[in-house]
């Protein structure tokens, strides 16, 4: 098999991945206590088909759980040590050691989250482990004896051995952090005998990322990783996490991710500026409208309503001038930097238009499935409707342009991939493409047909991209169930 052909081989299915992880756990016998039980969980990354950086503004988002996943094994210790080991991260095994005392003070009270963030994230070499240890802190805040909850007595008293293995690439824009958080939280709650609702588990994971790690993400990643269904899109209204359901991918359609290998970060300055800019725009609307609060979600305003306020929102505005003119930012996660210059008008307009694109794409997919179901009833082989595919692709191209034009979250490499898809076009089974997630690099989502011609075209695109940039891309071509559907599991020692 050629290297380009190998790019389009889906990873092993979820059960096969899990069996391989169980075997790795057994091989790590020296890491675990000889007798204490081990609980485990698996959670996938996600491909952002539509919604992206509009989730924090209350948009509808459409997300597909990918085949790659993170697996976590959790075992209680008799002491207060929290020992976390990751297998194969960036080609090598890593280990971090914390203490329960990093989470709880001498008076057996929760430490302030800012102090915990400093303790867990102070060392760059072990900052990755904050996504794991942060889950323990968030669960303690909700349930342990420290907060007078009635649960497993080990919470707040004992440390743990935690083993992590993730195939979700870091910095690729497919939410490696959410996969780690969700797998960890599900393994921990299973080990603790705590059974939160599915959406509560996802919200706790978002809290880890927002407050403990300090990355200002929305909630779409955690919900998709936890509640996603294989070969379907999670449809979520992020207000804060209103799960509409799952949308079947129509027959003959295919969503593929091509990783540019340009690393992005949700905690990066460009993403943070885009989010702050959006909330600046929201604050201007709230004040200029005389009280149209919109429940703090820009996406509760239609594009037509927004036009009445658009020109009242400054095109550019320094952080210092914003604070002087408008006061506090209506966002609990980010802060205005007085030395930065923001683009509140464009950053506010993007999520409102993105919400409309997401609703439109959702409707198109529903129509496509209904028509195909009618074809089956009539005894006709269901075929993808090229008109619907073309319209869906147009929405993706529009979303991609908005990342760059309005949010400054594009990148030359992802632009190359999108333009190569556009040039190949419907004649080769390629209909649309867009940068995903937090942008500024990472992965491009491609809408294509499930056909040999489309796969050949995608291989050629990857080859051209490598020739132009010197970078070998990576692809995401499979889908798998979220953590809830897969279920937490005890890990036998064999």
Q: What is the CATH number for 229? A: 3.30.230.10
Per-residue confidence (pLDDT) for residue 90, from 0 to 100:
53
Choose one of 288, 314, 347: the last residue of a domain. Answer: 347
Assigned domain for 233 exists: yes
Show the tokens assigned to 95.
């280990």
93 pLDDT band (50/70/90 cuts)? confident
* Distance (Å, whole) CA 433 – CA 362: 16
Per-residue confidence (pLDDT) for residue 2, from 0 to 100:
41
* Distance (Å, whole) CA 188 – CA 140: 11
% of the chain residues with pLDDT over 70: 95
pTM (2 d.p.): 0.93
Do 152 and 39 fall into the same domain? yes
Do 240 and 298 fall into the same domain? no
Do 299 and 410 fall into the same domain? no
* Distance (Å, whole) CA 143 – CA 141: 6
Per-residue confidence (pLDDT) for residue 91, from 0 to 100:
54
Do 22 and 156 fall into the same domain? yes
Per-residue confidence (pLDDT) for residue 1, from 0 to 100:
32
Tens digit of each residue's pLDDT (9 = 90 or more) over 143-152: 866 555 445 6
Assigned domain for 6 exists: no
Domain that holds residue 289: 269-347
Assigned domain for 383 exists: yes
Assigned domain for 426 exists: yes
Tell which residue, 213, 239, 188, has the closest CA to residue 58. Answer: 239
Do 133 and 120 fall into the same domain? yes
Do 94 and 64 fall into the same domain? yes
For the cut 80, the answer to whether the pLDDT of residue 348 exceeds it is yes
Tens digit of each residue's pLDDT (9 = 90 or more) over 267-286: 568 999 999 999 999 999 99
% of the chain residues with pLDDT over 90: 83
Do 403 and 460 fall into the same domain? yes
Number of domains the chain contains: 3
Assigned domain for 439 exists: yes
Choose one of 347, 380, 396: the last residue of a domain. Answer: 347
Tens digit of each residue's pLDDT (9 = 90 or more) over 179-206: 999 999 999 999 998 999 999 999 999 9
- Least confident segment among 106-115, 293-302, 355-364, 457-466: 106-115
Q: How far apart are the first and last CA of the chain?
A: 36
Those residues with Cβ within 8 angstroms of residue 57's Cβ, 6 or more apart along the chain or in another chain: 238, 278, 282, 297, 298, 299, 351, 352, 355
Choose one of 318, 347, 376: the last residue of a domain. Answer: 347
**Tell me, what DSSP letter sits at residue 37?**
-
By annotation, the residues acting in catalysis are 221
């Amino acid at each position: 098999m050629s290297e380009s052909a190998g790019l389009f081989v889906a990873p092993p299915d979820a059960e096969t991945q899990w069996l391989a992880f169980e075997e790795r756990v057994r091989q790590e016998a020296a890491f675990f206590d000889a007798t204490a039980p081990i609980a485990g969980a698996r959670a996938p990354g996600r491909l952002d088909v539509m919604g992206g950086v509009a989730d924090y503004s209350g948009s509808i988002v459409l997300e597909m759980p990918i085949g790659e996943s993170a697996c976590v094994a959790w075992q209680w210790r008799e002491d207060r040590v929290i020992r976390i080991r990751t297998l194969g991260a960036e080609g090598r095994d890593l280990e971090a050691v914390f203490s329960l005392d990093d989470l709880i003070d001498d008076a057996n009270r929760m430490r302030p989250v800012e102090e915990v963030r400093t303790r867990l994230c102070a060392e760059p070499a072990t900052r990755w482990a904050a996504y794991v240890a942060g889950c323990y802190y968030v669960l303690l805040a909700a349930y342990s004896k420290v907060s007078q909850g009635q649960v497993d007595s080990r919470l707040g008293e004992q440390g743990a051995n935690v083993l992590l293995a993730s195939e979700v690439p870091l910095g690729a824009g497919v939410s490696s952090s959410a996969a780690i958080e969700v797998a960890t939280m599900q393994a921990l709650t299973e080990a603790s005998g705590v059974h939160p609702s599915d959406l509560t588990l996802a919200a706790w994971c978002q809290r880890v990322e927002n407050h403990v790690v300090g990355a200002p993400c929305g909630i779409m990643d955690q919900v998709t990783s936890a509640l996603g269904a294989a070969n379907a899109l999670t449809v979520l209204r992020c207000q804060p996490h209103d799960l509409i359901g799952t949308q079947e991918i129509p027959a003959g359609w295919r969503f593929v991710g091509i990783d540019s290998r340009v690393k992005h970060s949700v905690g990066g300055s460009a993403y943070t500026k885009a989010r702050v800019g959006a909330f600046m725009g929201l604050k201007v609307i709230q004040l200029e409208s005389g009280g149209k609060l919109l429940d703090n979600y820009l996406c509760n305003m239609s594009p037509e309503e927004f036009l009445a306020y658009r020109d009242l929102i400054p095109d550019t505005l320094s952080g210092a001038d914003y604070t002087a003119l408008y006061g506090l930012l209506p966002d609990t996660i980010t802060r205005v930097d007085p030395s930065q210059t923001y683009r509140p008008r464009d950053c506010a307009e993007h999520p409102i238009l993105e919400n409309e694109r997401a609703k439109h794409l959702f409707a198109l997919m529903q129509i496509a499935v209904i028509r195909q179901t009618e074809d089956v009833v009539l005894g006709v082989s269901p075929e993808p409707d090229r008109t619907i595919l073309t319209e869906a692709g147009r929405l993706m191209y529009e979303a991609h342009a908005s990342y760059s034009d309005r949010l400054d979250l594009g990148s030359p490499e992802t632009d190359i991939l999108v333009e190569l898809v556009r040039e190949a076009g419907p004649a080769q089974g390629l209909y649309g493409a867009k940068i995903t997630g937090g942008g500024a690099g990472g992965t491009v989502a491609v809408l294509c047909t499930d056909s040999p011609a489309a796969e050949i075209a995608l291989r050629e695109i990857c080859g051209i991209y490598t020739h132009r940039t010197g970078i070998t891309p990576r692809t995401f071509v499979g889908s798998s169930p979220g953590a809830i559907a897969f279920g937490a599991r005890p890990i036998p020692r064999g």
